[in-house]
Amino acid sequence: MLLAANIVVAAIALLHVYILVLEMFLWDKPAGLRAFGLNQELATATKVLGANQGLYNGFLAAGLFWGLWLGDAGLSVKVFFLLCVAVAGLFGAATASRKILFIQTVPAALGLALLLLA
């Protein structure tokens, strides 16, 4: 069960690296425009805000990778950062797009459940 939990944690961390790349480097490029439903004018005007969001997603990924790297001692680190991902997803779903609930919160809740059952 712990292996499955760690696989889910790693997948969530990789997802947040992908989000970092989208927000920090591709925000005003075709991939970013599609991912976030922006037009070029809005993306250009909000590029710095996107990069800021990307940085925070990078911190979430770094925390999850850190928890994995710590092995058995990383349980509390993984739980903390998964809770952060879940809360960020809830806030994003309430303020930006409901799909964020399924992209962030649901996987984080699954990871938490698997970790706590392991």
* pLDDT tens readout for residues 10-49: 999 999 999 999 999 999 999 999 999 999 999 999 999 9
Mean pLDDT of 94-113: 96
Q: What's the confidence (pLDDT) of residue 1?
A: 84
> Is there a contact between 81 and 57 (Cβ–Cβ < 8 Å)?
no
Percent residues over pLDDT 70 in the chain: 100
> Is there a contact between 34 and 7 (Cβ–Cβ < 8 Å)?
no
pTM summary value: 0.94
- Say how many C-beta atoms besides its own lie within 10 A of residue 92's C-beta: 18
pLDDT at 7 over 90: yes
